[in-house]
Amino acid sequence: MLQILRNADVYAPTALGIQDLIVGGGKILWMGAAAPKIAELAQGLTGNKSILGRETDLQGRRLIPGLIDSHVHFTGGGGEAGFATRVPPLALNQFLDNGITSAIGVLGFDDCTRSTAELLATTRGLCEHGFGAWCMTGGYHLPLTTLIGSVREDLVHLDRVIGVGEFALSDHRSSQPTLAEFLRLASEAHFGALATNKACILHLHMGDGARGLEMVRAALEQSELPAAMFQPTHINRRRVLFEEALDLAADGCPIDVTAFPVAEDEDAWSAEAALELFLETDLPRERLTISSDGGGCLPEFDENGRMTAMEVGRPSSITDCLQNLLNRGLALETVLPFFTSNVAQTWRLQGKGQICVGADADLVTLNSSGRPERVMLGGAFTQTQTSGARDHAAPEPKTQPSKNN
């Protein structure tokens, strides 16, 4: 069925002004100043004026590519305070209701009771709904959790597996890997990238440890591996770590900010503050992405290290972040790439993250307050309740959270 979207204020992410779009077969087929009427179009294409079609007048609403969340615990994360703290799996509407049309799944801390097989099956299930889903092999620990025996075999033989991680560094919950072990793991990911043309990024969970990013610096100094394959995440959890990450970005590493809640007195940057700091640098803007850690666990501990409460990371946090940035006065076309085109480029997601002819028709309209309103997934509007469904910011935790996943 052909669809015409009229009077869309398109952010591709570049601001293109008012455009009409013709959508069919899950793709954007045409974009321009004035699309013909659906009957004329059908007649011209097929000789049949009565072909099914629909026109939707977007009345000047902002139209953006669907958001891409590159760090999500599809099958649930957590489990750091016993079995009862394992976070349940995420539901598809937790993405669609927030304008997220693609995501990359990770296992995280719990790579013992959770498996790559379960993650991959969940990823494939999301794909069957038309959602853009991929996942990583491995988890926090060595020996790495894989499905068919090794990192490179998973990367080469499993189409939806496009990276390795989140692999933990500088964290008490990591495997405390040596440089030699880290380099061996990175070499497997690099092999995957060469053999498949997939991104095969080594996605690094950064903990609170003072060692920070020294392992990555050592890897770059002591090996021939390319900087572009190392992507630290949660880099805004400590301010010194963020500075280290900016230095690595200057050397060519992609870096990922997590949109978790940050208390005012915390030695961390909110995703909004981190992005503003990044925009003040001369670094190539495509080096930075923002993800949610959705489905991950954010426990709170008392002074004795006992858990007192637990927050759960939500995909909606990147949507809140985008809205907050607009409320701070940043232009939509300035901030949108960090949630869309940068992610697609870093992870080599064909057809995602931009609005252009030939791209996937994963499209989102924003309401006047910058929240997703209508969501199109693969050329079909979804039955989401985005308008007003989340017109409030995520509640702040009562005590200082620990960013764990």
Catalytic residues: 293
Tokens found for residue 276: 């503003």
Q: How far apart are CA 293 and CA 313, in angstroms?
A: 6
C-alpha torsion sign, points 272, 277, 282, 287:
negative
Instruction: Pick the piece of the chain touching Zn ion (CB under 5 A) from 23-31, 92-100, 164-172, 238-246.
Output: 164-172
Tokens found for residue 311: 């927050």
- Determine, following the binding rule CB under 5 A, whether residue 289 of this chain makes contact with Zn ion: no
- Determine, following the binding rule CB under 5 A, whether residue 402 of this chain makes contact with Zn ion: no
CB of 214 to Zn ion, least distance (A): 18
CB of 170 to Zn ion, least distance (A): 11
C-alpha closest to that of 385 among 368, 393, 377, 373? 373
CA angle 327, 231, 219 (to 5 degrees): 145
Cβ proximity to Zn ion, 270 vs 405, nearer residue: 405
Q: How far apart are CA 167 and CA 174, in angstroms?
A: 8
Binding Zn ion by CB under 5 A: which of 152, 205, 237, 287?
A: 205
Instruction: Pick the piece of the chain touching Zn ion (CB under 5 A) from 52-60, 158-166, 298-306, 348-356.
Output: 158-166
CB of 152 to Zn ion, least distance (A): 23
Tokens found for residue 207: 């903990």
Instruction: Pick the piece of the chain touching Zn ion (CB under 5 A) from 43-51, 83-91, 204-212, 381-389.
Output: 204-212
- Determine, following the binding rule CB under 5 A, whether residue 405 of this chain makes contact with Zn ion: yes
- Determine, following the binding rule CB under 5 A, whether residue 236 of this chain makes contact with Zn ion: no
- Quick check: 290 and 347 in contact, CB under 8 A? no
- Tell me, what amino acid is at 177? P
CB of 372 to Zn ion, least distance (A): 25
Tokens found for residue 29: 């087929």
- Determine, following the binding rule CB under 5 A, whether residue 73 of this chain makes contact with Zn ion: no
Total binding residues toward Zn ion, as defined by CB under 5 A: 3
Cβ proximity to Zn ion, 62 vs 205, nearer residue: 205
- Quick check: 316 and 303 in contact, CB under 8 A? no
Instruction: Pick the piece of the chain touching Zn ion (CB under 5 A) from 92-100, 200-208, 237-245, 391-399.
Output: 200-208
Cβ proximity to Zn ion, 75 vs 323, nearer residue: 75
The β-bridge relationship of strands 230-233 and 201-206 is parallel
CB of 394 to Zn ion, least distance (A): 18
CA distances from 263 to 34, 177, 270, 335, 402 (A): 48, 31, 8, 23, 11
User: Interface with Zn ion by CB under 5 A: which residues?
Assistant: 166, 205, 405
